Amino acid sequence: MAKHYDVVVLGAGIGALSAAALLARRSWRVLVLGQGYRPSTYTYEGLPLARRAFNFHASHSPAWGRVIVELAQSQTFRRRLTPLDPVLAVLSPGRRLEIPTDDALFGREIDREFPGIRRVVDEFYTELARTCALADSGFERDIVLPPGGFWERRETERTLALLPHLRETGDLLAEFSRDHPYRGVIELTARFASDLAADSLPPFALARLHGSWIRAVRLGRGEEELTEFLVERVRAHGGDVNLGERATSIAHRGGKVTGVLVDGDDVPTGAPFIVSDLPTTALLDLAPGFAPSRRAMSQLPAVHPRTWRFVVSILANDRGIPQPLAAESFLIPDPPMYTVHLQRIKGPGDTTLLVAETFLESDSRGKVAAARERVLATVEQFLPFVERHYLLVDSPHDGRPLWDFRSGERKAVDRTRVRATGGSLEAEPTLVQWDVDPLQLYGLAGEPLRTPLSGAFVLGRTTLPALGQEGELLAAWGVARIITRTDRRKERMRRDMWSKVELG
């Protein structure tokens, strides 16, 4: 083997890059391959468009806090964040609710839109604050989630015993009537922050995810800025990052990882550990000739995509955007149109980029092909006259031409021209929410961190799907801990390092 690393990371999600940065910081030689990574934005003739919506839900999580403290970047990174006020708005026919950061203003909003439930709302948010505070305290601990062996389970259970609503199967929103609109607001925000496709989320996850919206902040350039930050940290500690490359196969011997074959190379790159944000079965598909035992495979949960995130980018003139429109909004139309999560981002000059995200229950060609118009119909219902101010409209997921309105009428732009500036020729795959059977760890966990192939780990959206971004970060910390403990010398170095790094 011509090259050798201690760890090869496949993927560029927040969990994969965080694990890479932690391991590089701990003196492991790390190689990161993007494995089909595409930046979150692209352009057409210099104008911005988005592949996916991004909210940094984990910005206040202790899981993220531990990462940036160990990287000695907590103060530096905090300056990149901008608080949102209001944190979000909810628009439905005849109703417009904002959730501001000021409690008194929020109380007036509730009294105006939902008279009679002020007490119920106040009690819910009091309990939400208590739950999030206890969760913050628990997730600050150095544990492995989801746990594997006996000692990990024992250690983790001691921490989880402190968390409220974790073992409950009841309804966290029981004080709200089953059809009350504000109950729908809480459930909807949690659904858009989760990677688990479930008819109802576990009570603890519901509280944690809705709480992430209430503490919302915005990162200047969104997902790309976060990716650049983590890549920079990996490289600063001696790691190599090639987001445009991928591994075509995993080399193994005797059921253990020995390296990866990078696309275009003739010989494998050696590595005893592989870390990936792919689902377990997709990772094992890269290991030709590896036949896991029936028992090992039977212990894995069944993981399947159930809902698909479909995104439409709308670049419009500022004149067509209502001034009071919040940075984060949820549009709940009358059926049969789609419910939409809408992000408002400042564009160049006098323009605004609206990123409209919805869920599709099927990825069939017919369903995807019709989704653009249905998303636009929802947006147009709540933003009167916005269609008169469209400049560009596109979706990377339907494979259809980009729409250019700058001449005063709609012109279809062939995707070959879009590809030349960072777009794609074919329809791109969407992010999905996963159906996991059976769920583990009180409904929070899906796949274990360890795979049947020794030395191969997963830490993506299928490991702790109910917790969304925070789940990826918790999984990343767990994988980094497992790998670090295989080398006692590096583990001692890490303990010594913790006495020297900043303490938050």
- CATH number of the domain to which 399 belongs: 3.30.70
CATH number for the domain harbouring residue 284: 3.50.50.60
Distance separating alpha carbons of residues 364 and 367, to the nearest angstrom: 5
- 191: domain range? 103-215
pLDDT at 503: 44
Separation between Cα atoms, residue 217 and residue 196, nearest integer Å? 23
Which of 185, 215, 245 is the endpoint of a domain? 215
Instruction: Classify residue 359: in a domain, yes or no.
Output: yes
How far is residue 279 CA from its own chain's centroid? 15
The pLDDT tens digits for 428-448 are: 999 999 999 999 999 999 999
Measured between alpha carbons, how far is residue 88 from residues 321, 322, 435 in Å?
Answer: 16, 15, 28
Query: Is the residue at 433 inside a domain?
Result: no
What pLDDT does residue 168 have?
Answer: 77
Among 367, 385, 419, residue at a domain's last position: 419
- pLDDT, residue 366, reads 84
pLDDT at 495: 56
Of the residues 419, 448, 466, which one is the last residue of a structural domain? 419
Quick check: is 91 in a domain?
no
- In a domain, residue 14? The reply is yes
pLDDT of 493 reads: 61
- On whether residue 1 sits in a domain, the answer given is no
State the residue for tokens 């904002």: 98
Q: Are residues 385 and 481 in the same domain?
A: no
Q: b/e string for 397-415 if b means 16 or more Cβ within 10 A? A: bbeebbbbbeeeeeeebeb
In angstroms, the Cα distances linking 178 to 122, 171, 181, 238, 432 are 18, 10, 9, 54, 27
For residues 139 and 169, state if they share a domain: yes
Q: Are residues 211 and 231 in the same domain?
A: no
In angstroms, the Cα distances linking 47 to 163, 350, 351, 474 are 46, 12, 10, 36
- Angle in degrees, CA 138, 141, 145, rounded to 5: 85
Q: What is the pTM of this model?
A: 0.94
Q: Which amino acid is at 285?
A: D
| pLDDT greater than 80 at residue 121 | yes
Q: Is the predicted pLDDT of residue 169 greater than 90, yes or no?
A: no
Phi, psi (deg, nearest 5) at residue 431:
-70, 145
Do 312 and 381 lie in one domain? The reply is yes
CA–CA dist 213, 209 (Å, integer): 7
- Residue at 340 is within a domain: yes
491 pLDDT tier (thresholds 50, 70, 90): low
Token pair recorded at residue 394: 């596109």
pLDDT at 200: 87
User: Do residue 47 and residue 153 come from a single domain?
Assistant: no
Note whether residue 23 is domain-resident: yes
379 and 442 assigned to the same domain: no
403 lies in the same domain as 309 = yes
Asked if residue 146 and residue 120 are part of one domain, the reply reads: yes
C-alpha distances in angstroms, 350 versus 155, 391, 408?
Answer: 55, 11, 17
Which residues, 6 or more positions from 210, have their beta carbon under 8 angstroms from its beta carbon? 128, 186, 189, 190, 193
Helices and strands per DSSP (H, E), number in the chain: 15, 22
- Evaluate the CA torsion angle 232, 235, 239, 242 in order and state its sign: positive
Residues 6+ apart with CB under 8 A from 316: 351, 352, 354, 386, 389, 390, 391
Question: What is the mean pLDDT of the segment spanning 171-175?
Answer: 89
Residues 295 and 247 in one domain: yes
Query: For position 128, what pLDDT does the model report?
Result: 95
User: What is the three-state SS of 303-340?
Assistant: EEEEEEEEEEEEEEEHHHCCCCCCCEEEECCCCCCCCE
Same-domain check for residues 274 and 313: no
Q: How far apart are CA 107 and CA 85, in angstroms?
A: 15
Establish if 82 belongs to a structural domain.
Answer: no
* pLDDT level of residue 88 (50, 70, 90 thresholds): very high
Convert the pLDDT of each residue in 340-355 to its tens digit. 999 999 999 999 999 9
Q: Determine the pLDDT at residue 133.
A: 95
Calculate what percentage of the chain has a pLDDT beyond 90: 87
In the chain, the amino acid numbered 299 is Q
Q: How many domains does the chain have?
A: 3
Measured CA to CA, the distance from residue 429 to residue 311 in angstroms comes to 11
Distance CA 480, CA 20 (A): 8
Total residues belonging to the chain: 504
- Average pLDDT of span 153-175: 89
Residue 211 and residue 237 in one domain = no
Short-list 124, 135, 121, 123, CA closest to 204: 135
Q: What is the pLDDT of residue 416?
A: 93
pLDDT for position 501 = 53
pLDDT digits (tens, 9 = 90+) for 201-237: 999 999 999 999 999 899 999 999 999 999 999 999 9
Average pLDDT estimate for 130-151: 94
Residue 197 neighbours by CB under 8 Å, 6+ apart: 305, 306, 307, 432, 433, 434, 435
Q: Supply φ then ψ for residue 304, to 5 degrees.
A: -140, 145
> What is the pLDDT at residue 496?
59
Tens digits of residue pLDDT in 299-333: 999 999 999 999 999 999 999 999 999 999 999 99
Q: Judge if 206 and 110 occupy the same domain.
A: yes
Question: CA gyration radius for the chain?
Answer: 23
